[in-house]
Amino acid sequence: MTDRKFVTGQFRKMWASALIAMVGGLAILWCVHSSTASPLMGRADPQAPILTIRVDGNGTGRIFDGVGGLSAGAASRFLIDYPEPYQSQMLDYLFKPHYGASLQDLKVEIGGDTNSTWGSEPSHMHSRDDANFTRGYEWWLMREARKRNPKIVIEILPWGVPGWVGNYHFYSLDMIDYDLKFINAAHDVHGIDIDYLGIWNEIRYEKEWIKSLKAAVLRNNAAHHLHTQIVAADSVHEGWQLADDMLADLSLRKAVDAVGVHYPVYESTAAARRLMHGTNPVPLWDSEDTYLIYPGPPAGVLAKQLNRNYIQGKMTRLVHCTLAAAFPKFFPYKEGLVQATSPWPGHYEISPALWAIAHTTQFAQPGWQYLDSASGLLDDGKGNTIGSYVTLKAPNQSDYSIIIETADATTSQQINVLVASGLSSGPVHVWHSDIRAGTYFAREPDLPGGVNTLNLQPGSIYSLTTTTGQQKGDCGPPPADVPFPLPYADNFER
């Protein structure tokens, strides 16, 4: 998170020059072995171009690293105060696999006793001699996420620290020790292994300090049997500058396991895409982004980000800011997948953006491979981008999923899809969100092995897959919202 006035102003400027005419649309012709009419068959725009996508099991691409949610800046504060069963319902919608958002990554703030957006998160070390590893609610949230999904990736990142750290100099040996104490407490006290450690949220990095941090983390990993890696630099103003520095400095390149940038607007740089660790590309991540500062419905914005980040920037992870808007309702920037502003009656709301994420997370897991030759942008034949599609292949070399968004389309368009080279010829399961109609994550009739013509509607998200197990979780309606009960008294000791 950053100065939203600055970011919004900058991105409005970008979008003013980059907004495309919203015309065209999408339909899909599925070619496997024989001809079968699909119940979803419909008329396509006869003047729209027809694209053929070859889904080749021998195709290549980067490895998918998952979709995450951010808990930072006191955005999740009210979650822990919700009564049951409503607290568990929200957590299931966020973290339970094949149920809701099915988040594959959780990124939390290392509290620093400083205002970090919507409030302050408490430090585990108020002073050099203080150490409390149950203070705050991020420990609880990490445990709840791992309880629902033992495979979820956990990332941590500081926004600020108490002044005693480095005597007000953040990039210090004190700061390294401060980070390591949090990592070790997560493991020893809470049974949580931290997968990634960031350096400092949206603040200019120091190259030599990153190297020192990496060396200390490797020593700590060996001593405590951990596997923590480094993601840097969670930049917004510097963009992908760290990639240039890594290309010029081999020791820095070895110190950074993944490069994360905030609000990249689908794009990385050629230098970032050239970064390699041996024979493998260095992972590039959209390590903080949100639907709120882009034009359009939240579900459409997120669907575009998830697809186009990879197509245009080869970014393989997106962390959405935030997983919950769990703070007083008069606060601005309610960009959560769950809106949780009224714990007293247990009232909450699910954002349509949650189901946009489900269109990816319920159909591909970290470790699946993008197929570059079966991923791309859709256009209306006049140079206007109206949608996008990505294809991912499972490690079993048979199953695959295709995620398509037509967020900017106004009419339909045919696409021919040919599946080849050992990929499954079994039934293809179809899930659809119609953003304009406000219907999300609905199961459509399966496509049998054969030729099927799908009329994919404009303003839609589609997931097509040979896998099973997807579902739209439904806990029923939460309680109605009511005003805060007054009078109220609290001794503030809890």
| Residue in the block written with tokens 């179809």 | 430
β pairing state of 229-235 and 347-350? unpaired
Which of 379, 387, 416, 414 minimizes the C-alpha distance to 403?
387
Task: Tell me how far apart the alpha carbons of residues 39 and 75 are, in angstroms, rounded to a whole number.
Answer: 44
pLDDT of residue 18: 39
| Residue in the block written with tokens 């994550």 | 441
pLDDT of residue 206: 98
Written as six digits, the tokens of 78 are 């009210």
Q: In this structure, how many other beta carbons lie within 10 angstroms of the beta carbon of residue 408? A: 24
Burial of 491 (0-12, 13-18, 19+ CB in 10 A): exposed
CB 387 within 8 A of CB 408: yes
User: What are the angstrom distances between the C-alpha of 14 and each of 17, 216, 295?
Assistant: 6, 40, 11
Beta bridge partners of 400: 393
Written as six digits, the tokens of 472 are 């739209």
Beta bridge partners of 31: 418
Written as six digits, the tokens of 101 are 């958002």
User: What are the angstrom distances between the C-alpha of 327 and each of 32, 137, 273?
Assistant: 50, 13, 38
CB 381 within 8 A of CB 338: no
Q: Which position among 155, 288, 335, 405 bears the catalytic label?
A: 288
Task: Tell me how far apart the alpha carbons of residues 185 and 373 are, in angstroms, rounded to a whole number.
Answer: 44
CB 51 within 8 A of CB 444: no
pLDDT of residue 16: 35
- Please name the residues in contact with 297: beta carbons below 8 A apart, sequence gap of 6 or more: 352, 407, 435
pLDDT of residue 8: 41
Which of 262, 242, 84, 402 minimizes the C-alpha distance to 92?
84
User: What are the angstrom distances between the C-alpha of 250 and each of 160, 244, 283, 314, 328?
Assistant: 29, 11, 16, 22, 47
Q: Is 405 a catalytic residue?
A: no
User: What are the angstrom distances between the C-alpha of 397 and each of 84, 404, 420, 466, 479?
Assistant: 42, 21, 12, 12, 45
Q: Mean pLDDT of successive 10-residue segments in the chain (494 residues)?
A: 45 37 34 38 61 89 98 97 98 98 98 94 96 96 98 98 96 98 98 98 97 98 98 96 98 98 97 98 98 93 98 98 95 94 97 98 98 94 92 97 95 84 90 97 82 78 96 96 92 72
Written as six digits, the tokens of 155 are 């990332």
CB 71 within 8 A of CB 157: no
Task: Tell me how far apart the alpha carbons of residues 427 and 456 are, in angstroms, rounded to a whole number.
Answer: 18
Task: Tell me how far apart the alpha carbons of residues 403 and 352 are, in angstroms, rounded to a whole number.
Answer: 17
Task: Tell me how far apart the alpha carbons of residues 154 and 146 are, in angstroms, rounded to a whole number.
Answer: 9
Task: Tell me how far apart the alpha carbons of residues 352 and 355 are, in angstroms, rounded to a whole number.
Answer: 6
Q: In this structure, how many other beta carbons lie within 10 angstroms of the beta carbon of residue 108? A: 26
Q: Is 267 a catalytic residue?
A: no
* Helix-strand-coil split of the chain, %, nearest 5: 25, 25, 50
Written as six digits, the tokens of 199 are 């350096």
Q: Which position among 202, 335, 349, 405 bears the catalytic label?
A: 202
CB 366 within 8 A of CB 66: yes
Q: What is the 3-state secondary structure (H, E, C) of 125-184?
A: CCCCCCCCCCCCCHHHHHHHHHHHCCCCEEEEEECCCCCCHHHCCCCCHHHHHHHHHHHH
Which of 162, 172, 77, 65 minimizes the C-alpha distance to 112?
162
Which of 104, 412, 458, 69 minimizes the C-alpha distance to 296?
458
Task: Tell me how far apart the alpha carbons of residues 359 and 60 are, in angstroms, rounded to a whole number.
Answer: 22
User: Could you tell me the pTM of the whole model?
Assistant: 0.91
pLDDT of residue 415: 79
Task: Tell me how far apart the alpha carbons of residues 364 and 357 are, in angstroms, rounded to a whole number.
Answer: 11
Burial of 64 (0-12, 13-18, 19+ CB in 10 A): buried
Alpha helical stretches, state H, 326-468: 352-361
